[in-house]
Structure 1
Amino acid sequence: MTVLVAGASGATGRLLVDILLGHGRRVRAIVRSPARLPASLREHPRLSIVHADLLDLDEEAMARHVEDCTAIVSCLGHNPTLRGLFGPPRRLVTEATSRLCEAVRRCRPERPVRFVLMNTAGNRNRGIAEPVALGERLAVGLIRLLLPPHRDNEDAAAWLQAWFGPGDTAIEWVVVRPDSLTDADRVTAYDVHPSPIRSAIFDPGHTSRINVAHFIGELLADDLAWRRWALRMPVVYDSGAK
């Protein structure tokens, strides 16, 4: 079983690759800068590295990279710099998600490929009409106008919901929504909820990157966990987050 990871050189992506390799998985990482991966990962015999900008790959190359994968994880995001927040590509997450999924569909897999999209607790699940207080609705609307990455995350999740519903033969997805991301050196207790239990704007919790990576690893390793969350948008919080 091979898992393709987009954004593998990022802060969460590196942790996820390490966890997947620890589970005995073969991992294919598409990265622009392989040197950003720790040497211990780059030299791992079950890790294959595709040195490329994902959005620069043509349809044939994209199909070749996804063809034998049973799962795909996107940990892509925008760097918290002026260029990362406001420069191109403004639709990085949405375009990568659509291109990866369309490549899977062209390959006509024998069973649906599991697609995990790392997103944000600030993006509500429109598929179940999550209630949002007026103040937060207004604040998110302003963020959507001022910060292109937020709109990109919303559009990526909405694209999956619109194109891949129950019974689809190509893709089955989970959108994982952590709250404010933090760094930690080990997995700790965390809670997973179908919807946010606090305001991501006015009462945010926090979620360590390693806990996000661990949850995604469990989704791909445990069929029961996958069936529980398939076609849903679970929210992950560190236990006891204040």
Structure 2
Amino acid sequence: MNVLVVGGSGATGRLLVRQLLNGGLSVTAIVRSPEKFIEILGPQEHLSVVSAAVLDLSDEELVQYVGECEAVASCLGHTLSLKGVYGHPRRLVSDATRRLCKAITASKPKKPVKFVLMNSTGCRNHDLAEVVSLAESGVVGLLRWLVPPHADNEQAAAYLRSHIGLNDACIEWCVVRPDSLVDIDDVSKYEIHPSPIRSAIFNSGKTSRINVAHFMAELITNDAVWKAWKGATPVIYNVEE
């Protein structure tokens, strides 16, 4: 099985790439800094690295890359710096999601391609009428206007829900929503919920990046897990022990 990963050089993305490679899959990773990425992962027989920013690739190049894969995973995010939050590209995640989906459709796959998007529990699924307190709604509204990456994540998830939908002939999707991300060395116990069970603003939980990578890899490789969560926006939390 071939998987295309964008955002593979990020803190979560490289963990996902390693999970997929350890599972015997072939991975094509589009990264801006291939030297550092390869140095971190070490030599990998089944890893192909494309040196580029995903939005700088032409439509034809994207069609070529997605046409070789049965799944696409996006771990794209904005760097936590002044330039990363307020600089360009402002719509990195949503523009990449839109262009990758259009490339998948243009490649005319024989069966639907899995699209797994890493998002955030702060982005609500309005199709599920998720309950949000007035105070949290106000804070999220401010984040939407003052912190561009939040709106970008919302738009990426909304594109999959509204434009791709549940009956697309070329694309099946899942949006993974971790809570506050933390670094832990090994996969630990985690739980999956259809919607948040705690406030992302006032009572956030923790989700280790390696658990996010593990769940995303399970979605791609485990048919039962995919059947359970395709077309959904599951929330992932570490189990507190």
TM-score by length of 1: 0.97
User: Aligned runs of 1:64-83 on 2, under 5 Å?
Assistant: 64-83=64-83
For 1:130 and 1:142, the matched residues in 2 are separated by 19
Moved more, 165-174 or 67-76: 165-174
Structure 1: gaps (5+ residues): none
For 1:28 and 1:20, the matched residues in 2 are separated by 11
Q: Is the 8 A contact 1:191 1:237 kept in 2?
A: yes
Q: Is the 8 A contact 1:13 1:213 kept in 2?
A: yes
Structure 1 residue 42, shift from structure 2 partner: 5.0
User: Aligned runs of 1:1-242 on 2, under 5 Å?
Assistant: 1-39=1-39, 41-240=41-240
Structure 1 residue 41, shift from structure 2 partner: 2.9
For 2:210 and 2:50, the matched residues in 1 are separated by 23
Letter in structure 1 aligned against 2:69: C
For 2:132 and 2:18, the matched residues in 1 are separated by 36
Structure 1 runs of 4+ aligned residues shifted over 4 Å read: none
- Percent of aligned pairs sharing the same letter: 54
Letter in structure 2 aligned against 1:190: Y
For 1:27 and 1:191, the matched residues in 2 are separated by 27
- SS at 1:37 equivalent: helix
CA offset digits 1:18-75 (Å, max 9, x no partner): 0000110000000010123143635201000011111011111110111021000000
For 1:224 and 1:86, the matched residues in 2 are separated by 40
CA offset digits 1:194-234 (Å, max 9, x no partner): 00000000000010000000011111111010010000000
CA offset digits 1:66-107 (Å, max 9, x no partner): 102100000000000000000000000000000111000001
Q: Over the residues paired in the alignment, what is the CA RMSD in angstroms?
A: 1.0
Relative to structure 1, the CA distance from residue 103 to residue 240 in structure 2 (aligned partners, 3 Å threshold; closer, same or farther) is same
For 1:127 and 1:2, the matched residues in 2 are separated by 31
- SS at 1:11 equivalent: coil
Structure 2: gaps (5+ residues): none
For 1:228 and 1:87, the matched residues in 2 are separated by 38
- SS at 1:191 equivalent: strand
For 2:71 and 2:127, the matched residues in 1 are separated by 23
CA offset digits 1:177-203 (Å, max 9, x no partner): 000000011000011100000000000
For 1:84 and 1:199, the matched residues in 2 are separated by 26
Letter in structure 1 aligned against 2:125: N
User: How many pairs were matched up?
Assistant: 241
